Structure formats: structure tokens, C-alpha cells
Chains A and B, each alone.
Chain A
Amino acid sequence: MAKIAYYPGCSGQSTSVEYDLSTRAVCRELGLELVDLEDWSCCGSTPAHTVNHVLSAALSARNLALTEQLGMDLVTTPCPSCLSNLRTAAHKMEDADFRAKANALLDTPCTKQVTAQSVLQVIMEQVDPELIRAKVVKPLTGLKLACYYGCIMNRPPALMQFDNHEHPMVMDNLMTMLGAEVVPYPLKVECCGASFGVPRVDIVTKLAGKLLDAGRELDVDAFVTACPLCQMNLDMRQGQINSALQEKFRIPVFYYTQLLGYALGIDRKELGLKKLCVNPKPVFNKLKETAQAS
């Protein structure tokens, strides 16, 4: 089994436990051994870099240093926001002066060049697609999905260096591989409102509402996401959006790992499906119907 350092990120312990759970389950099933960074700390998320770039880099670099201590040079995380911070820190620390400044804030300096990648990238690049195809036991046939990537998974392209930055396709391809019908969702990289859910609910309801609307327009059964913040804004806040915009959205919003895990036949409990706020039951009912019909 390929061993890879794993950084779950704070949200993986609260608002997106199901993402963390399903990621671990799926990776195990696909032969990727995730080695948790012992005693990892918060990457600082958006707040840190809006305050200071050295502080932000240091918070991330503590985790890069932990990766280094494991003797590894690649750390993977499910969360695009953590990813963006880890990659930015790693990139900035290519500059010796900057590295010295960031290290000066740390107890244990980060001396090596460590890179970060999303779990999605690792799965897409390190797992043989044939293996995935072969392992599908419950295809997603009959499901109509919109893949929503969020704003920072692939941007800015020079930093992220993965997939097309205006029109990413990897999740689309993965879902198609699992048998689902993927609609050409036009707002794949539009921002969902990010962390403004707390200080400015009005902003999030407007932006996330627009995203849900575009999905409804295309008559999708569900959204697929890869970001805890996106998922939360679309799922947990769907009720809030409905009352703010006088709408009646009821569209389940999955993490791609949940649907992948389902197709691979992983036990539902391990996928944390119960944690979803918009009840995904209609989706699974539909899947059952198509399965029975064929």
C-alpha cells in the first residue's frame, strides 16, 4: 500500500466529519494508506493570511515540518482551503529569506521542501482508473449530478497546478466513471460565499443560492463537492438560503468521496451519510429503482 501523509484539517473534526470519514474509507479501499500527521494544528485558513503572510505561512509550515519529521515530502488533505494554505506556504518558502522569517516563528523549523496535494489529485493520479472501474459494485447509473469544485481548488493555476482552472473536469470524469450522468455545470469555479456565512449571511445566501439555482436549472439529482466550505454553504445553509431568497431548494449535496464510497460498496456508516443536512434519501431511492429496473 502506498503510504501518504494525511492532514485532515479542522473542519474534518466538526462540520465535515463525514468528509474525513469517507475519505479514509475510500482511500483504504483504493489501497492508499493515509498516515495522520501526529498532533497537526490549524493551517490558519483564510483569516490568517488576511492578517499577515508570514503568520499564515508559519501556521501551515508547522504542519509541513511534521510531514518532514515523518520522513515524507508530500502531504495530502481533503480540504482545498488547507491545500491552498499549505501550497502557498511551501511555495513562498522556496525563497530563503521568507523561509527564515516563517521558521523564526516556529519551535521546530521546516527545512525541507514539502509539497501538498489534494486527496482528489492523489486518487486521480496515483490510482489506476481500471482498478476503480473494477471495484464498482453499485454504479451510480441514472443519477444526474452537478460537480461543483469551488473557487480555490484550482486557482490560481500557477500555484495549484492541477486540472483546468476555469473548467475543471476530474470530478466529472470520476463520476462518469462510476456510471453517473454529469451535467455541464456552468459555475464550477464560482465562489460559494466562503467563510462569510458567519459575518455576512446575506452574501452567502445570495452566492450559494445562485449556485443551487444553476443546478436546479439543469435538473440535477444532487451536487458533488470536494470542499467542506462549499458543502456546508450549499447543504447546511440550504434552509437559510430558502428563507432568505424565498426558495424551495431541496438538493442533496455530497462529498465526492461519499458517492465514490457508495459505488465501491463501502458500508454507509463509514460514509457519514447521516450527517448530510438535506436528506439524500431520494437519491438512493432513485438508484435502487434503476438497479431493480435493469
Chain B
Amino acid sequence: MKILDLSAGDRDFLAEVESRSGQNLKTCYQCGNCTAGCPYTFAYDIPVSQVMRLIQAGQREMVLNSKSLWLCASCQSCTTRCPNEIDVAKVMDVCRHMARESGCVSERTTKLFTDAFLQSVETHGRAYELGLMARYTLKSGRFFDNIALGPTALLHNKLSFKPHPIQGKEQVARIFERFRKGE
């Protein structure tokens, strides 16, 4: 196990997460309620309460490389029940932003899906599910995961073969464009 040198903790990391999320993380007293309610704990490498702890201890690398960031579904159960009224889901969100910014991607497939989804929105103005599945499948190389669903979905006319582009799709594209410029 990694031994932490607490004095070498990155205080700026705590400050940055606090200011970007607007949350006071010093109030977290490690009760574990967030972890207790998080449906994804079984899939996490670091339970959400320990993510909070590691932020307090300024462990930037461990946090930003955690798979948990990418597996959080923003289900809000942690936020809803935290006795210190910390918006934990927002903190997870912010850490994910920071991970993305610093190029840490420990769950590649999740990121690919997110990217494919947004790509689809940027192109068509709306999510085009078949297209985004195709793009995701190509990029991730995970051909078999959802292949079984294909027939079920198509049989029930669930997925449309054509995207539903909108007239204002340039407007939407410009949202992304301006966003990237501003970054």
C-alpha cells in the first residue's frame, strides 16, 4: 500500500476542489454515509468517502487517477444524505473535470462514451443513439458488450436508423466551439 507523506499533501488541491465545487470539504468528518448509500461502491476502486478524505489530505494524484470518478452516476444519493450538507456528487463531478483537464483517464470506456455522446450532440444538435453507439463501439473496440441488444432494440423499433438533425444544429455546434475557445 502506498504510504502518504501528509506534510507533502497538496493544499492547493483541496482549495481548488473547494472553490470549484463551492463546498466546504473540511466539514466532512468521515461518517461514511455517502459510501453507505452509493450504489456504485462495489465497482469503485476508492469509496466516495475516502475520495473526500484524500482530497482533505491533498492527494491530488490518487484522486484524479481514481476509477471511481468515472463510475459515479451522479445519482445524488450521497448529496441527499450527507449530514454536513456537502454536495458530494458535485465534488465528484468537479474532480472528474479536473481529471479530464489533466489527462487522467482511468476508465477509458466511460470517457469514450461521454465523448461519443457529446460528439453526436455537437454534430446533430441531438443525441443520435445508433450513431453514437457505432462511434463508441468502433473506438472502444468493445463489440460484444451490447451486441445482444441490437436485435431487441431494432425489433421493437427502438433505435432509429436516421439521426434527427435540427435546424439549429449550427447553433449547438457553436456552443461547443465557444466553450473550447474559452477553455
Contact = CB atoms under 8 A, between A and B. Distances in A.
A141 interface: no
B36 interface: no
A159 B87 CA distance: 12
Interface size, A (range): 35 or more
A201 B148 CA distance: 11
B167 A39 contact: yes
B104 interface: no
A39 B168 contact: yes
Interface stretch (B10-18, B50-58, B67-75): B67-75
Contact of B71 (A59, A166, A200, A206): A200
A165 interface: yes
Contacts of A239: 148, 152
Interface size, B (range): 35 or more
Interface stretch (A171-179, A271-279, A282-290): A271-279
A15 B71 contact: no
A168 interface: no
A194 B39 CA distance: 11
Most buried by A among B96, B133, B156, B169: B156
Contacts of B100: 51
A259 B159 CA distance: 23
B118 A51 contact: yes
A196 B71 contact: yes
Interface stretch (A25-33, A70-78, A102-110, A118-126): A102-110
Contact of B156 (A157, A165, A240, A274): A274
B121 interface: yes
Contacts, number: 175
A44 B79 contact: no
B46 interface: no
Interface stretch (A148-156, A214-222, A245-253): A148-156
A49 B74 contact: yes
A39 B166 contact: yes
Contact of A15 (B89, B158, B178): B158
Most buried by B among A40, A47, A198, A200: A198
Contacts of B179: 52, 54-55, 58, 105
A13 interface: yes
Given A42-B121, A196-B71, A198-B133, A10 B157 contact: no
Given A152-B76, A200-B110, A236-B158, A41 B93 contact: no
A62 B159 CA distance: 25
A151 B71 contact: no
Given A13-B126, A199-B140, A55 B176 contact: yes
A14 interface: yes
Contacts of A195: 73, 113
Given A39-B168, A191-B77, A197 B146 contact: yes
Contacts of A203: 40, 43, 71
B166 to A, nearest CB: 5
Given A41-B121, A51-B114, A243 B148 contact: yes
Contacts of A198: 113, 133, 136, 145-146
Contact of A199 (B76, B110, B159): B110
Nearest to A46: B74
B75 A191 contact: yes
A53 interface: yes
A272 B113 CA distance: 29
A50 interface: yes
B8 interface: no
B26 interface: no
Contacts of B130: 14
Given A47-B118, A194-B74, A239-B152, 18 more contacts: A13-B160, A14-B130, A46-B73, A48-B118, A49-B93, A104-B182, A151-B73, A157-B80, A190-B39, A193-B73, A196-B71, A199-B112, A202-B43, A236-B156, A240-B146, A240-B149, A277-B156, A277-B158
